[in-house]
Amino acid sequence: MPGPVPKAAGTRQRRNRTSTSARLEAPPASRVELPTRFSSYRCVECYLAVGKHTAEQFDKEDILPHGFEPAEETWRDLTIAWWATIWASPMAEEWVDADVPGLVALAFLVDEFWRTGNREIAAEIRMQQREYGLSPLSRRSLQWEIIRVKRAERVQPEARPPRRKDPRLRLVSNE
């Protein structure tokens, strides 16, 4: 006996879809180079920190008065390698230009981690990387699937020589 007639699709309560879902079209994000960084505590002309460039401090030191001019800092090699890796990854195709400032901020965190080794910074990096699909768990929750490209065909091992007769057979057929 057939069951009841299903409800019309328009009258069903659950649709497993959020009311704010939208489908947006955008081109992939344009890769940017890491920006020039400036120190917040090193001056180009002296060793005084930003808050120490005062008349009183210059009276104590043997330095001529000047304004604080931040020194340019270089990015660490590990940060540069990380930046190149994330932009070469398949996830970069999913980012849009609005994601790039957050990725640059994440690069600052990564560079700070390599400078200090601070565990709190490492925790923040982990949380921020999830936002951009940079961890396996976040890719799974975003339902991103990475399709593996075939590598070079594996070389099949050479065929084994044929086995000799099973020695156990001699025990059975003792004729």
- Do residues 133 and 107 both lie within one domain? yes
Number of domains comprising the chain: 2
The average pLDDT across 5-16 equals: 75
The average pLDDT across 33-45 equals: 82
Mean pLDDT estimate for the chain: 82
Domain end marker among 20, 48, 73? 73
Q: Can you tell me the distance from the alpha carbon of 107 to that of 104, in angstroms, rounded to the nearest whole number?
A: 5
pLDDT tens readout for residues 82-129: 999 999 998 898 899 999 999 999 999 999 999 999 999 999 999 999
Q: Can you tell me the distance from the alpha carbon of 53 to that of 66, in angstroms, rounded to the nearest whole number?
A: 7
- The answer to whether 92 touches 82, Cβ cutoff 8 Å, is no
Residue 95 belongs to a domain: yes
Bigger pLDDT: 1 or 90?
90
- Do residues 60 and 89 both lie within one domain? no
Residue 94 belongs to a domain: yes
With bands split at pLDDT 50, 70 and 90, how would you rate the model's confidence at 51? Answer: confident
Q: Can you tell me the distance from the alpha carbon of 156 to that of 137, in angstroms, rounded to the nearest whole number?
A: 34
Residue 9 belongs to a domain: no
Q: Can you tell me the distance from the alpha carbon of 167 to that of 175, in angstroms, rounded to the nearest whole number?
A: 14
- Do residues 90 and 138 both lie within one domain? yes
Residue 174 belongs to a domain: no
Residues sharing a CB contact under 8 Å with residue 42, sequence separation 6 or more, in sequence order: 70, 71, 73
Bigger pLDDT: 144 or 120?
120
- Residue 138's pLDDT is 87
- Do residues 99 and 138 both lie within one domain? yes
Domain that includes residue 133, residue range: 75-143
- Do residues 86 and 139 both lie within one domain? yes
- Residue 131's pLDDT is 92
Q: Is the confidence at residue 173, as pLDDT, over 70?
A: no
The DSSP letter of residue 90 is G
- Do residues 69 and 79 both lie within one domain? no
Bigger pLDDT: 172 or 174?
172
Residue 155 belongs to a domain: no
- Residue 106's pLDDT is 97
Bigger pLDDT: 48 or 134?
134
Bigger pLDDT: 48 or 131?
131
Q: Is the confidence at residue 41, as pLDDT, over 90?
A: no
Residue 162 belongs to a domain: no
